Structure 1
């Protein structure tokens, strides 16, 4: 098994410690998410938007979390270009399907599924034969220098390699920790580089699917795509992919540095998600008190929460979150603006709200309380 693929490394003591801590955080999150809270839906949507943002920004497609949430809701983004919006919508469609597959009672990995996910992501680039295995060689170039940094395996090997990867996903090393299997699925797929485009995003999405199939947490809570999309981490990600993968397809088992990089990312992202979950509860309670004191309807908390965690809020989002009529939503937002919670910008269709002076003061207060994340390998 695995003779043609990059092999799964043996973990060392520090890795096992980090893995145990990730498991503890994951169980804790699962326990905390078992209770339903008013802010859960908004938090999940934020996390999904951030994962989409991270994975796409690595490829140079940049959009704000607010625009991504608009695209997720089928609305026009305020700033993102039409090209970027297509990339975001394609990726969101694939991730939504991955979320459904994570919960499916009948499931097997197969090459057709991987091709279909690739088509969902980049189907709007018909010239790149989306969802179809590449017919020739492929070279990954450094966007800055134009130098070839990686050469994928010959086209005639790709079918066999994908078959082997799928067999391994279904039956290979099932006793290995799912974080390790997900990391190796990501690594092997990105190194096989089977399509003409979308290989990086596909590999990150496959990692999310492997974790989702483990059903410990939903994909939004287990993805490291947001973490990978941060500039400093993106550089490290490319460095470790290059160092472990070498310059051309050369399967070997010396992949511990890659798995370590992924375990660290999971640990840091889990710390961050846990902080966000705690903060969400605190912010919501605080806003409830304020809304109550102002004699506003309790439902307004959801608009204020959105304005707190996002840079801006649109009426349509609040309207659908609270199941209101257009008039009710507009009236609530007008009241919130009159009381200094929100500040309106733009006209009619392009109108949106940002934090007003009272909200800005609350946000500033919270911004002071930064809890630094702990690098689990630097104990």
Structure 2
């Protein structure tokens, strides 16, 4: 029988690498909190706007759910109704994301919360399973870029799901009170166990990423408001799946090693804080033109970047300014445009 051992996390060994990541996260968070955030209001507001769009796009994109950039922007601004199933699911994610960002202080970690959030996630669709635990057994399948699939894990049977979710939430909340582990460690373990239970017919991956935001907020790690954690995960999706796979072995028998997934989880949070710190630092230093910042972004990444990716790295400027900058740089031959439509990307001319 599956039991959640949040007293020892199956005798988890906290490696020096994990400890160092936690220390770095705390240091950067402390630096940001000690700064005059009011002087960064305009940048932070733009970061929030960009992060919401990126999070909704990336988390759905991991599951193969897409729409055009134009439609995504309209949906996020609530200026249009969804036209198809993909847009319905994107709209649901948008609303749950907003709810968590705005009301996290009043949302407990409980079975009822998880069911309610899932119901909202599918509120625009005709599906009848929104807000209901799975009634059939399922499998966790990894889909690769070439379309091939691999069964990564067989979750518990459907009839066990309600009790398992209750137990998970109860043990997690107790562990948070006892404070035996750093909160980031517990948060990562909770997200991993939720994914492993795979409690719903559909939407388990998206729910896990929404719950990541929800459990981080009360621990005072609110970086997900400004930097899209979902987008960071999407960029290294293969590593995400690998960490899940490594930590899954022995899960049903309470013998799994949480280490690989928690280490990945910490890496994502650390990367988000580094990005936020970098954005805030750039507002203190001598301002640069939008074209200079675009070149800097492409130089730092050393790979083709989409307009949306570039916008995420330049919160100082709005979309219109960045579009003009891209056009000027393309015309002057300093950057090259690759592809068209949604797949359009830009690269520095060598």
The bucket for the TM-score relative to the shorter chain is: 0.7 to 0.9
Q: Within 2, Cα distance between the matches of 1:359 and 1:32?
A: 37
Q: Which runs of 5+ in 2 are unaligned?
A: 291-307, 336-346
Q: Secondary structure at 1:268's aligned position in 2?
A: helix
1:276 to 2:291 alignment: no
Match of 2:99 in 1: 97
Residue of 221, 245, 248 corresponding to 1:245: 248
Residue 181 (str. 1) matches residue 186 (str. 2): yes
Q: Deviations over 1:256-295 (max 9, x none)?
A: 11111111222222222222333356696757xxxxxxxx
Sort the Cα spacing of 1:278 and 1:309 in 2 relative to 1 into closer, same or farther, 3 A.
farther
SS at the partner of 1:35?
A: helix
Query: Match for residue 298 of structure 2?
Result: none
Note closer, same or farther for the CA distance 1:219–1:59 as it changes in structure 2 (3 Å cut): same
DSSP-derived class of the 1:127 partner: coil
Q: Taking structure 1 as reference, are residues 147 and 357 closer, same or farther at Cα in structure 2, changes over 3 Å only? A: closer
Q: Deviations over 1:328-364 (max 9, x none)?
A: xxxxx8xx9xxxx966xxxxxxxxxx85427987x96
Partner of 1:371: none
- The aligned runs of 1:146-161 (5 Å cut-off) are 146-161=149-164
Q: 1:83 aligned to 2:88?
A: no
Q: Tell me how far 1:5 sits from its aligned partner.
A: 5.8
Partner of 1:225: 230
What is the CA–CA distance in structure 2 between the aligned matches of 1:128 and 1:242, rounded to whole Å?
30
Partner of 1:137: 137
Residue pair 1:119, 1:130 contacting (<8 A) in 2 also:
yes
Task: Tell me, yes or no, if the aligned pair for 2:44 and 2:226 is still in contact at 8 Å.
Answer: no
Contact 2:55 2:228 in 1 (8 A): yes
Q: Secondary structure at the match of 2:42?
A: coil
Which residue of structure 2 aligns with residue 47 of structure 1?
A: 51
- Which 4+ runs in 1 deviate beyond 4 A? 63-67, 280-287, 358-361
| Higher mean displacement: 275-284 or 199-208 | 275-284
* Partners of 2:48 and 2:227 within 8 A in 1: no
TM-score by length of structure 1 reads: 0.69
Normalised TM-score (structure 2): 0.75
Q: Measure how far apart 1:254 and its partner are.
A: 1.6
**Contact conserved, 1:149 with 1:247, CA < 8 A, in 2?**
no
- Partners of 1:360 and 1:118 in 2: CA distance: 47
Match of 1:203 among 208, 217, 221: 208
Map Cα deviations across residues 57-93 of structure 1 (whole Å, 9 max, x no partner): 110123566654432211249xx97433222211111
In 2 relative to 1, CA 310–246 (structure 1 residues): closer, same or farther, beyond 3 Å? closer
Kindly tell me: are residues 195 and 223 of structure 1, through their superposed partners in 2, closer, same or farther at Cα, counting changes over 3 Å? same
